[in-house]
Amino acid sequence: MVVATPITHLVLTACFFLACFNLPLPSLASSSSDFLRCLSTNVPSELLLTPGSPSFKPLLVSSIRNAKFVAPATARPPLCILTPTKASHIQAAVRCGRRHGVRLRVRSGGHDNEGLSYLSQRPEVFAVVDLAKLHTVRVDPREATAWVGSGTTLGELYYAVGKAAPGLAFPAGVCPTVGVGGLFTGGGQGLLMRKYGLSADNILDATIVDADGNLLQGKKAMGDDLFWAIRGGGGGSFGIVLSWKVRLVPVPPRVTFFNVTKTMEQGAVDAVTKWQTVAPALPDDLTVRVVVQQRQANFQSLYLGNCSGVVATLRDRFPELGVKYGDCREMSWLQYTAYLYFGDASNKIPLEVLLLNRTMTIGPFVKNKSDYVNKALTNNTWHNIFTWPLGGAAHGELILEPHGGRMAKIADAETPFPHRSGVLYNIQYVQFWNGTTAAGTNSIIMPNWINTMYDYMAPFVTKNPRAAYSNYRDLDFGVNKVVGGVSTYDSGKVWGERYFGANFRRLAMTKRKVDPADYFRNEQIVPPLL
């Protein structure tokens, strides 16, 4: 078989790791070839690529968004990548995988912050199920709903909705290449959340393949706990979601964007200090987020209305920002989704190319961390952030996303996402650097800005536990320990309560119900509460 060489490689790599971890050595080679044989009798060969194929590496890296993962992913590649076009292919992957001891990593958009959808930090043989081909969007404008394949990108979803149903939209994230599979399973925040909640708050139904390879079509078949868990409880833990039925939400024909910059000399510190309490209390139709970078703050809006409306509201609520008529741009919601990401360039490129382009140039190495703020920081704290060594993050930024509005009205336990009432805003810390990783190693050398900043912030943000957003996955919080073949609840609790608060326990009970053997496993999945 074509896989002979890659398997030898995998066995060698695995032996190296197994020695470190001191685990018994399973007979990887035989289970791997049995798995591939099992899969190839159930799936057309063109949908199954092994490392010997020339298309394998381009496919593997196709949706990697963080340059630091390219070398490790190609050095320790999956046994194969399956690109299913229907449910039975995914069912076969689960059944063959369980029978022959091969785990699956599911990938929708590939944006996982720690690369867990295609990269394992553990000595295990795994296959990638890449859902990119499951990207149909069926919009029902009359019912204001859509069925969305898990492999759809946000750009594809926005484009399909905006074209089929002008006047309707869907609340989700900013970056058009994020996959709905990962975004929805982790919550999904964006600039419509103050009006309509997270993506997960607008999911009406779904289909999923469970840990036994059964296809569960709809929430009745799934049961309340599982349907609850997949709407924010984190990707990869409970099954492979194939498609989602979502509620579309009304937007006016024109929405308003502005991007107002304040330098420190222009009062950025005072403006951000005030923004902390003003932004979460604005009318739900108006979201103003902030990007803090290089000693300045960019205030960016989405207003569901025209420019006069936003200028009037802010003159009243936030005169210090000084937003004028000339700062605004009115456009359709669909244009807005491109504009926010690509800025002025989006005027020069057709929307189609922007929104349907899954493969974008990969940037530098990135590390992200997140926090929630319940109590406004003082102007002195902001002053320290703006003047932090490294030029107030010359190669990094803080993105502040305001909560309030609809977000504050949803109970903490309604979905697994617990960061609801009382939250003023979410902080995402981002650090970029020009990294190098020698092929075959996983040594990612990171400058220290983000860690010292995160330590500095500890007294000012949520505590016990210090909360974080699960879609900004961060392995610094800890990874699961596996005992007796199952990820332990105690090791999961350490990171899990940061993401899910008190909901973590119900998630772990659900995991026990739907996957007690812990087949769907990675470094940070919800473990079963045994």
Ligand X SMILES: *[C@@H]1O[C@H](CO)[C@@H](O)[C@H](O)[C@H]1NC(C)=O
The helix (run of H) or strand (run of E) holding residue 21 is helix 4-21
Among 72, 171, 179, 396, binds ligand FAD (CB under 6 A): 179
Residue/partner pairs of 35-38 with CB below 8 Å, 24 or more apart: 35/79, 35/96, 35/97, 35/99, 35/100, 35/101, 35/102, 35/127, 36/1, 36/3, 36/79, 36/80, 38/92, 38/95, 38/96, 38/99, 38/100
* Residue (376 or 501) nearer to ligand FAD, CB: 501
234 φ/ψ angles, rounded to the nearest 5 degrees:
100, 135
Answer for the pair 221, 150: CB distance below 8 angstroms, yes or no. Answer: no
# of chain residues touching ligand FAD (CB under 6 A): 33
Tell me the C-alpha to C-alpha distance, in Å, between residue 24 and each of 31, 270, 483, 484: 15, 59, 13, 12
Among 269, 271, 331, 508, binds ligand X (CB under 6 A): 269
Answer for the pair 299, 259: CB distance below 8 angstroms, yes or no. Answer: yes
Instruction: Restricting to residues 468-487, name those near ligand FAD by CB under 6 A.
Output: 471
* Residue (165 or 399) nearer to ligand X, CB: 399
CB of 187 to ligand FAD, least distance (A): 6
* Residue (289 or 406) nearer to ligand X, CB: 289
Among 77, 78, 97, 109, binds ligand FAD (CB under 6 A): 109
CB of 141 to ligand FAD, least distance (A): 25
Exposed e or buried b per residue across 133-169, where buried means at least 16 C-beta atoms within 10 angstroms of its C-beta: ebbebebeeeebbbbbbbbbbbbbbbbbbbeebeebb
Give dist(CA 49, CA 78) in Å, integer: 10
User: Is 308 an interacting residue with respect to ligand X (CB under 6 A)?
Assistant: yes
**Residue 433 binds which of ligand FAD, ligand X, none (CB < 5-8 A, kind-dependent):** ligand X
Answer for the pair 315, 327: CB distance below 8 angstroms, yes or no. Answer: no
CB of 247 to ligand X, least distance (A): 24
Binding pattern for the stretch 371-410 against ligand X, x by CB under 6 A and - elsewhere: --------xx--x-----------x---x-----------
* Both structure tokens of 134: 């499951």
Q: Collapse the DSSP code of 282 into the 3-class scheme (helix H, G, I; strand E, B; otherwise coil) and give the result.
A: coil
Residues 6 or more apart in contact with residue 509 via CB below 8 angstroms:
225, 529
**Residue 236 binds which of ligand FAD, ligand X, none (CB < 5-8 A, kind-dependent):** ligand FAD
* Residue (23 or 174) nearer to ligand FAD, CB: 174
**Residue 306 binds which of ligand FAD, ligand X, none (CB < 5-8 A, kind-dependent):** ligand X
Among 259, 266, 374, 491, binds ligand X (CB under 6 A): 259
The window from 112-120, 304-312, 325-333, 370-378 that contacts ligand FAD (CB under 6 A) reads 112-120
* Residue (69 or 489) nearer to ligand FAD, CB: 69
DSSP 527: P
Residues 6 or more apart in contact with residue 249 via CB below 8 angstroms:
144, 168, 169, 170, 171, 192, 195, 196, 202
Q: Which ranges of 23-128 does DSSP label H, i.e. alpha helix?
A: 28-40, 56-62, 70-75, 87-100
**Residue 298 binds which of ligand X, ligand FAD, none (CB < 5-8 A, kind-dependent):** ligand X
Instruction: Restricting to residues 7-66, name those near ligand FAD by CB under 6 A.
Output: 65
User: Is 306 an interacting residue with respect to ligand X (CB under 6 A)?
Assistant: yes
CB of 177 to ligand FAD, least distance (A): 7
User: Is 235 an interacting residue with respect to ligand FAD (CB under 6 A)?
Assistant: yes
* Both structure tokens of 29: 């080679």
Among 51, 162, 181, 528, binds ligand FAD (CB under 6 A): 181
Strands (DSSP E) found in 79-144: 81-82, 103-107, 126-130, 137-140
**Residue 176 binds which of ligand X, ligand FAD, none (CB < 5-8 A, kind-dependent):** none
Q: Which ranges of 268-399 does DSSP label H, i.e. alpha helix?
A: 268-278, 307-317, 333-342, 351-356, 379-386, 389-393
**Residue 110 binds which of ligand FAD, ligand X, none (CB < 5-8 A, kind-dependent):** ligand FAD
Among 277, 298, 442, 488, binds ligand X (CB under 6 A): 298
User: Is 498 an interacting residue with respect to ligand X (CB under 6 A)?
Assistant: no
Closest residue by Cα to residue 90 from 131, 53, 136, 54: 131
89 φ/ψ angles, rounded to the nearest 5 degrees:
-65, -40
CB of 284 to ligand FAD, least distance (A): 18
Q: Which ranges of 319-431 does DSSP label H, i.e. alpha helix?
A: 333-342, 351-356, 379-386, 389-393, 406-409
CB of 92 to ligand FAD, least distance (A): 16
User: Is 435 an interacting residue with respect to ligand FAD (CB under 6 A)?
Assistant: no
Answer for the pair 204, 246: CB distance below 8 angstroms, yes or no. Answer: yes
* Both structure tokens of 352: 């189609």
Binding pattern for the stretch 429-458 against ligand X, x by CB under 6 A and - elsewhere: -x-xxx------------------------
User: Is 66 an interacting residue with respect to ligand X (CB under 6 A)?
Assistant: yes
CB of 117 to ligand FAD, least distance (A): 3
Closest residue by Cα to residue 365 from 415, 430, 429: 430
User: Is 368 an interacting residue with respect to ligand X (CB under 6 A)?
Assistant: yes
Residues forming contacts to ligand FAD in the complex (CB under 6 A) are 65, 105-113, 116-117, 131, 150, 173-175, 178-179, 181-183, 185-190, 235-236, 240-241, 471
Residues forming contacts to ligand X in the complex (CB under 6 A) are 65-66, 113, 259, 261, 269, 298, 300, 305-306, 308-309, 340, 343, 353, 357, 359-361, 364, 366, 368, 379-380, 383, 395, 399, 428, 430, 432-434
